[in-house]
Chain A
Amino acid sequence: MANDPQVNVQVGRLLRANTRACVAGCLPSQNFPPFGSLVSIDLGQEISAYGLVSDIHIDDDGLVRQLVTTPNISETVIQDNRVNRNVPVELSVLFVGHRSAGVISHRLPPRPPLSLDRVRACGEGDVCAFTSAGSLGYLRFILEAQDLPAADLLAAHLLQAGRAQRDHGDEQWFARAIDKVITQLRDDYVRLMPVLEALADVQRELGI
């Protein structure tokens, strides 16, 4: 069930948020969603926020600091530390749109989620629905984000979305996305070229 790509799976709960981004905490055992993948957070009143996993960080705690220098750590100790840790794994999420009364829009959610709201990884169906709505306007959030590895975030996202779209029969989606990226960045040669090179890898991986 946890691995079924068609359904949304809860992966954690909200730690903190602002209008543009939020951070969720989850246990490593919860099989947290990969970098660049789409997640959604139910805000109540038929509104949910969509975001991309833009960073994953694993903070240390006192115990790890002690263990790290121990010469021979047993496998059970390692597993125990990972599963029962005090500090959660933190997922940073960059908001890219929302759904309100069933309508998807590529604008920021009207308000950020609240603490402990559930964060779910989107299944392929949801990924397709979100990425096909409108005309790829949400890519601007990725390209405009500061302090993020935009090229890699974009590549990771387009790999997930491109695969979902391909498997749902839209082979052209990926090219449309690239076209959009070029439109957004064509005035910045120095930025665009490395992004396209990263996307060339994705294309090869997708085999389309």
Chain B
Amino acid sequence: MQLVVENLSVSYDKIRALHGISFSVEEGEIVTIIGANGAGKSTTLRAISRMVPADPGSKIEFMGQNVLKYNTDRVVSKFGISHVPEGRMIFGNLTVTENLTLAAFARKDSAAVAADMKWVFDLFTRLEERKNQLAGTLSGGEQQMLAVGRAYVSGRKIMILDEPSMGLAPLLMLDMFDALKEINRQGTTILLVEQNARLALKFAQRGYVLEHGKLILEGEADSLLDNPEVKKAYLGA
């Protein structure tokens, strides 16, 4: 297993948002965690990228190494865990190119960085057309592309994505997931968190269902799609 999460708990001001969840992701896999508002999906990803501290007793390992020993910047630069955060968090006062350049801050392989940037521009041609534009003036969909592009350039071994479909029109949403498929084909593991359960389960190979900070179901994505409980609670059928 590439990413192993065991007994992960996270508390905000003494209120527990995650109650000892465990899951794992294989190298090259696409895995999704689905759940309703406030289930703890974003918190899970933030714990992996060390944006929020995990409670004592939690364990997060990447390629057998203890992730919890490191700060966010090292998690990104040392392990290649790239996080596309909720709300995109692009730098609106920087241009598109500058956003991508900054994402490569810790990388020393400048030739490979240039190739990665080109790859991103080929994948998201709308970004290339706007590469000298301030990122804050991009549309929501374009900002989402930039957030994914940035994560790609930051040296992804695994990309963890927080609702990349949020705020996208249906067609753009499909484009986005095609792009993620392409990124996965390049060898990047994908851990995706989504409220749009149908989309996520069609896209992923395996899935977990998070409810009130606990993982209540797991399995092959297809079987979850057919699961009556999942159907009832998350697929609106």
Tell me, yes or no, whether A binds B.
Answer: no
